[in-house]
Amino acid sequence: MAVILHTLILLLTLTGLFISTNTLGVGINYGQIANNLPPPSHVTTMLKSLNISKVKLYDADPKVLGSFANSDVEFTIGLGNEYLPRMQDPQEAQIWIQQKVQPYLSQTKITCITVGNEILGGQDSQLPQYLYPAMQTMYQALVNLGLHKQVYITTAHSLQILATSFPPSQGAFREDLVQYLQPILAFHAQTSSPFLINVYPYFAYKNDPNNVPLEYVLFEPNAGAIDPNTNLNYDNMLYAQIDAVYSAIRALNSGSIQVQISETGWPSKGDEDEFGATVKNAGIYHKNLIQRMQKRQGTPANPSQPIDCYVFALFNENLKPGPTSERNYGLYYPDGTPVYNLGVQHEEHDLPRMQFSASGKNGFSMFNLLLLLVGFLIIA
């Protein structure tokens, strides 16, 4: 009996270790611009193995939302940029929510709708005029349906909205975009919704590798950069960029608004001129990022405000246009093989290979074994 009891305790301990060491502790962007991805039903098993509880989509894919029914995963879904002009019509907005959101709410946790992605400062000069009205109309549709306390409305911005990003205390929005940002910020203050930013320190290093220290953008030990106005020391670029956005918001007297990271990541492969896009750097960036997020620490200028973060992305997406890096941001290849080990030197942070079809069976077998051992104990 003593041997059985010892074995049971050991199994329970190992099971707990498996659960804890495979937890990312952040959200994940689930992009699907590819023709070789596993079906959503397999991805549910994969994310459960990683203990990921927050997922961001770029659309409202019914297959994904249906596959995650009765799970603990919390979804942010996207209204595509192409829908913005149509969403000026309140009826169109209500129909979209009734068709894309409402049918799934009883079983799938949908907590946020992003209205457009990187509209301000983007390529289409016509879309900015539609952004705020679309956010308003979508929110009012939620109010009409009694869903505004369950689902919030926001949009995601690139850092192209900033005219100044360093020092962080002098962060400022571009003058040509202030006319669009002011009503959006007032909307966030009114509805208590977050201001989302897509932040990639990788781009700063790629564009100027001789002057931007690699350690500074990878969260590795370095001397940091001091903000001369506050004397705050920034040991990584991501935190400096977040505080620059906070400063820009405060400069417009927009009240207390939370900034969240809707995208950040590092490519594992790139073209010859895409400096720093390597498997090693991608692994280091994500390992250090996840460790920081798990500590729930804030930035130097906002230490009491933990950072919410969504990593980009779950899979490499082979049909994405643009340079090679665009198709190599994934933590995983489509077959479930990890692109790199997050730990580099620390095995406990390695990404496991995902056996889609076997994962559920393995968990069931472990559970049965535990029950069997408990039965032996009772009989003994």
Residues classed as catalytic: 118, 263
Of the candidates 33, 28, 27, the one whose C-alpha atom is nearest the C-alpha of residue 316 is: 33
CA distance linking residue 356 with residue 46, whole number of Å: 6
Give the count of beta carbons closer than 10 Å to the beta carbon of residue 192: 10
Beta carbons of 288 and 220 less than 8 angstroms apart: yes
237: left (phi over 0), alpha (psi -120 to 50) or beta: alpha
How far is it between the farthest Cα atoms of the chain? 78
The residue written with tokens 């995208």 in the block is 263
DSSP for 361-378? Answer: HHHHHHHHHHHHHHHHHH
The residue written with tokens 């007032």 in the block is 186
Burial class (CB in 10 A: 0-12, 13-18, 19+), 199: buried
Q: Which residues pair with 77 in a beta bridge?
A: 113
User: Which 8-state DSSP code applies to residue 304?
Assistant: T
CA distance linking residue 176 with residue 163, whole number of Å: 10
Helices (H), 74-161: 90-100, 128-144
Beta carbons of 303 and 297 less than 8 angstroms apart: yes
Of the candidates 254, 236, 214, the one whose C-alpha atom is nearest the C-alpha of residue 245 is: 254
CA distance linking residue 310 with residue 197, whole number of Å: 10
CA distance linking residue 136 with residue 87, whole number of Å: 9
Strand 172-173 to 162-164 pairing? antiparallel
User: Which 8-state DSSP code applies to residue 220?
Assistant: -
Q: What SS3 state is found at 300?
A: coil
